[in-house]
Amino acid sequence: MTPEGRIMIDLFLRRNGGEVKIASSRPLSITRQFAGRRPDEVIRAVSLLFWTCKSAQSIAAVEAFEAALKRPVPEKVKNVRALLILAEIAREHALRIVIDWPKFLSVPEEAPPAAHVRAIMKIAQDFDRLLHQETNGEKALATAVGELRSFLEQAIFAEDLERWCERITQDALTEWAALKTTGAQRLVHQLAEGRRIAVCAVELRALPSLAPQELAVRLFSKESAQFIAQPDWEGEPCETSPLARHADHRLVKSLEATNGFGLGARLAATLIELAAIPSRMLALAHGRDTSELPDGEPGVGVAQIEAARGRLVHAVEMDGEKVGRYRILAPTEWNFHPQGAAATALARLASAEGDRESLARLFVTAVDPCVGYEVRVH
């Protein structure tokens, strides 16, 4: 059994508005099999079960046990883990941008160059190999970051990342898109030219910072299954995504001021996050050799990882030296809550012009669920 499943999205378009039904076949109770196992067995199982965001899943499992067992974590270890997660985020975002975004262009493009696909698939793999070597000098890391930067500048941004990061207004973004050198530029240009930047705009209710103790209460309560399947906070579904992480960025705020948090803002947030990764990696390469004890109640551990698609949570409750209960809360359950942002945004396509089915698929791709999905327009 694998924890994959699918998200099924039915969009009913009516003259008086739209209705969206979201169903999931994800086996969210898969972690029951972890009860009674040792921490090392669970960590190994997580690494084998989860292929999407594998590094984030594995690190979250390790950190949940470290918190439960009150094991201090050196700062250098934290930085290596953060680098692995950033490399994974870079790969996941690049896959969507280079391979999936061009599928929504009005003029179909040829498949992306094989060299680009190979480079994307190697991103996380190369950093994983480098960071797990006993001697991973700063020079080797800087070389790997430089290679990542060069690829992003060539295949996605078509200019220096520093220059792109200076584009903090909608006009600057559309000026960049008008060059139409890469698939990312052409898609943003197409949305701007067709006045589709504001499509699917909804109010953003970003998932706030959550205390581990508060999460543990919800995850180990009698209603935990319902919370994991359809999570809410303070009675409302929240969003955890690149848009939620970068809602205060000046470019996103410029887009929001005239178009709301629509398709344009979502695509821009992903580009913003990706463009900043090489510089964030170099900053992490200079870690301090310190340790600190995880917070929380002894025997209960909660880990929160900002992964490619949003916040990933692992929680464990120990029973002696073995696992009593284990819970995983993935970003897909937040972002595709039946009453959440995706459902609300897609319902607004009822009043949109143009190919609404294509726009619906582009929106879902922009939010980017952890698993495969199907959109059916009725």
At residue 107, the pLDDT reads: 84
150: phi then psi, degrees, rounded to nearest 5: -60, -40
Residue 288 has pLDDT above 70, yes or no: no
Indicate the pLDDT class of residue 103, thresholds 50, 70 and 90: very high
* Mean pLDDT score, 260-283: 96
- pLDDT at residue number 296: 59
Percent of the chain with pLDDT over 90: 76
Q: What percent of the chain has pLDDT over 70?
A: 95
Average pLDDT over residues 292-318: 87
pLDDT band at 1 (very low <50, low <70, confident <90, very high): very low
- Residue 366: how many CB atoms within 10 A of its CB? 25
**Does 2 score more than 60 pLDDT?**
no
What is the arithmetic mean of pLDDT over 364-375? 92
Whether pLDDT at 289 is above 50: no
Is the pLDDT assigned to residue 133 strictly greater than 80?
Answer: no
Q: Are 238 and 260 in contact (CB under 8 A)?
A: no
Average the pLDDT over 68-96 and give the result.
94
Mean pLDDT of 148-155: 96
Q: Is the pLDDT of residue 295 over 70?
A: no
d(CA 308, CA 42): 23
Tokens of 8: 């099924």
CB burial string 232-263: b at 16+ within 10 A, e below: ebeeebbbbbbbbbbbebebbebbbeebbbbb
pLDDT at 233: 96
pLDDT at 29 (0 to 100): 82
pLDDT band at 291 (very low <50, low <70, confident <90, very high): very low
Q: What is the pLDDT of residues 11-24, one digit of tens each?
A: 998 777 789 999 99
Assess whether pLDDT exceeds 60 at residue 292: no
How many other CB atoms are found less than 10 A from the CB of residue 309?
Answer: 25
Q: How far is 116 from 86, CA to CA, in rounded Å?
A: 19
Q: How confident is the model at residue 354 (pLDDT cuts 50, 70, 90)?
A: confident
Q: Is residue 118 within a helix (H) or strand (E), and if so which, with residue range?
A: helix 114-131
pLDDT at position 5 = 79
Q: What span, in angstroms and rounded, lies between the C-alpha atoms of 308 and 56?
A: 9
In this structure, the strands spanning 17-24 and 73-74 are unpaired
Q: What is the pLDDT of residue 294?
A: 55
Q: pLDDT averaged over the chain?
A: 91
Residues 6+ positions from 182 with CB-CB distance below 8 Å: 155, 156, 157, 158
What is the structure's pLDDT at 287?
Answer: 61
What is the length of the chain? 378
Digit-coded pLDDT (tens) for 223-259: 999 999 999 999 999 999 999 999 999 999 999 999 9
Mean predicted confidence (pLDDT) in 187-216 = 95
pLDDT for 17 equals: 75
